[in-house]
């Protein structure tokens, strides 16, 4: 940092003096109802300049105009982002993860937050040390908590530094991977990164919801095929739990509300599957409707599995690796669920997997 400091002159003392000036200012005002946003940024800027008088920082403080990040720059190298909260806690919503408006040349970044409820208080900390989680408004944003310890920051949780994350080509990928690793049964990520917006097949906007019954039949068939592909547990012999991830995916990724997900796969009773011949443990050589639907969707599954990317599959397949063949991974999951179903004989299980491999051109 190219600042020649005078005796007793430091960034810490600049910040401490600024905090004290702002606190006195707030305490002496009859009302602070009008202190919000850009107005408070100007207040911080004015008191920073006052605190900087007769120090090495004098004349180096700049208020950044417009929607830029951070709000104030000191000596062209130090950034100060300004936030306020009117709650009793020190939590508030921070800036976008993308930081597309970040000012160039900032080496050190700090966050000043004012609690605008009595007793008034001001805290200033390194920016990355008070970002605790990531939340989504119109885009992913940091959640600020000025009271956390540095070890509890979102970056420590994700095991990546703030600088490495913000400088990465796709900062959303580590975030998705982290929150995906925390998912419990029945949970799903409701927000998908911007790179995946072209995967929405119904509308271009995630503001529009549709009810399943309003979709055309071809659209319904397509989503059922993707259901089998992304969520192979659909063919397991468990109860309603097996439909949870598919139902969440429809709602959170495709904006489709379906109140009877189970019926999409099971309605219609048993039937024949030509590829499986006449041997089965089901009465009158009939197979369950969900297995019939799987075979009816194998052509679409084959097309999709050959065209989708690693990122598409990794969102849904927990242990899937880049070195894995998507076909082999999917068929291994199908086989695992078929093998666990005691309704089928060993011979029938083997034949089911054999015929699926044949349809997918897996040798």
Select the more confidently predicted residue: 135 or 264: 264
Q: Are 103 and 113 in contact (CB under 8 A)?
A: no
User: Is a pLDDT exceeding 70 seen at residue 274?
Assistant: yes
Most confident of 1-10, 89-98, 289-298, 336-345: 289-298
Most confident of 4-8, 110-114, 303-307, 318-322: 110-114
Provide the pLDDT for residue 149. Answer: 95
Q: In whole angstroms, how far apart are CA 84 and each of 21, 103, 111, 128?
A: 16, 21, 10, 17
Select the more confidently predicted residue: 255 or 4: 255
d(CA 121, CA 22): 9
Q: Where are the alpha helices (DSSP H) in 93-243?
A: 154-158, 162-167, 172-181, 217-230
Provide the pLDDT for residue 25. Answer: 95
User: Is a pLDDT exceeding 80 seen at residue 279?
Assistant: no
Q: How many CA atoms lie within 13 A of 119 on its CB side?
A: 2
Locate 129 and state its tokens.
Answer: 């040390």
Closest Cα partner for 339 from 237, 234, 230, 239?
Answer: 237
d(CA 278, CA 286): 9
Greatest CA span in the chain, whole angstroms? 95
Provide the pLDDT for residue 199. Answer: 47
Q: pLDDT-derived band of residue 123, with 50, 70 and 90 as boundaries? A: very high
Provide the pLDDT for residue 197. Answer: 41
Provide the pLDDT for residue 296. Answer: 93
- Kindly report which listed range (188-202, 207-221, 323-337) carries the lowest average pLDDT score: 188-202
User: Is a pLDDT exceeding 50 seen at residue 142?
Assistant: yes
Q: Burial level of 160, CB count in 10 A (0-12/13-18/19+)?
A: middle
Q: Burial level of 361, CB count in 10 A (0-12/13-18/19+)?
A: exposed
Cα distance from N-terminal residue to C-terminal residue, the chain: 62
d(CA 228, CA 334): 9
Provide the pLDDT for residue 190. Answer: 66
Select the more confidently predicted residue: 210 or 331: 331
Select the more confidently predicted residue: 130 or 100: 130
Mean pLDDT score, 240-269: 88
pLDDT tens-digit readout, 51-101: 999 999 999 999 997 788 999 999 999 999 999 988 888 988 889 898 888
Q: Which residues pair with 342 in a beta bridge?
A: none
Annotate 108-121 with b (16+ C-beta within 10 A) or e (fewer): ebbbbbbbbeeebb
Residues of the chain by 3-state class (helix, strand, coil), percent to 5: 45, 15, 40
Provide the pLDDT for residue 348. Answer: 86
Mean pLDDT score, 134-142: 79
Closest Cα partner for 70 from 94, 87, 48?
Answer: 94
Q: pLDDT-derived band of residue 188, with 50, 70 and 90 as boundaries? A: low
Mean pLDDT score, 286-306: 91
pLDDT tens-digit readout, 41-50: 999 999 999 9
pTM above threshold 0.95: no
Provide the pLDDT for residue 172. Answer: 86
Q: Are 224 and 297 in contact (CB under 8 A)?
A: yes
d(CA 135, CA 261): 28
Q: Which long-range contacts (CB under 8 A, 24 or more apart) does 298-306 make?
A: 298/356, 298/359, 298/360, 299/359, 300/221, 300/222, 300/225, 301/225, 301/228, 301/229, 301/330, 301/360, 302/359, 302/360, 302/361, 304/225, 304/226, 304/229, 305/229, 305/330, 305/360
Q: pLDDT-derived band of residue 278, with 50, 70 and 90 as boundaries? A: low
Provide the pLDDT for residue 145. Answer: 94
d(CA 117, CA 326): 55
Q: pLDDT-derived band of residue 283, with 50, 70 and 90 as boundaries? A: very low
């Amino acid at each position: 940092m190219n600042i020649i400091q005078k005796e007793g002159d430091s960034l810490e003392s600049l910040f401490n003096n600024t905090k004290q000036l702002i606190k006195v200012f707030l305490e002496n005002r009859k009302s602070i109802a009008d202190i919000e946003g850009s107005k408070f940024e100007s207040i911080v800027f004015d008191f920073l300049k006052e605190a900087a008088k007769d120090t090495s920082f004098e004349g180096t403080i700049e208020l950044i105009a417009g929607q830029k990040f951070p709000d104030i720059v000191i000596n062209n190298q130090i950034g100060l982002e300004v936030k306020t909260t009117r709650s009793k806690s020190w939590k508030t919503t921070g800036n976008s993860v993308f930081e597309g408006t970040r000012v160039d040349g900032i080496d050190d970044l700090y966050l000043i937050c004012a609690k605008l409820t009595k007793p008034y208080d001001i805290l200033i900390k390194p920016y990355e040390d008070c970002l605790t989680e990531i939340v989504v408004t119109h885009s992913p944003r940091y959640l600020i908590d000025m009271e956390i310890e540095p070890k509890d920051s979102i970056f420590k949780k994700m095991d990546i530094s703030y600088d490495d994350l913000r400088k990465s080509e796709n900062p959303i990928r580590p975030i998705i991977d982290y929150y995906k690793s925390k998912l419990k049964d029945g949970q799903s990520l409701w927000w998908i990164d911007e790179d995946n917006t072209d995967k929405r097949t119904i509308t271009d906007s995630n503001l529009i919801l549709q009810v399943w019954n309003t979709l055309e039949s071809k659209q319904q068939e397509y989503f059922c095929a993707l259901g089998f592909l992304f969520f192979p547990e659909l063919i397991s012999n468990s109860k309603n739990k097996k439909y949870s991830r598919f139902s969440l995916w429809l709602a959170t990724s495709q904006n489709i509300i379906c109140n009877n997900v189970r019926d999409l796969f099971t309605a219609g009773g048993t039937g024949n599957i030509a590829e499986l011949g006449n041997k089965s443990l089901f009465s009158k050589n009939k197979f369950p409707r969900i297995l019939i639907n799987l075979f009816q969707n194998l052509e679409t599954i084959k097309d999709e599995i050959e065209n989708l990317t690693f990122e598409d599959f990794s969102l849904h397949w927990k242990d899937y690796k880049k070195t894995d063949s998507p076909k082999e991974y999917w068929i291994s999951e199908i086989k695992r669920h078929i093998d666990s179903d005691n309704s089928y004989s060993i011979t029938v299980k083997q034949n089911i997997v054999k015929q699926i491999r044949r349809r997918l051109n897996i040798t």
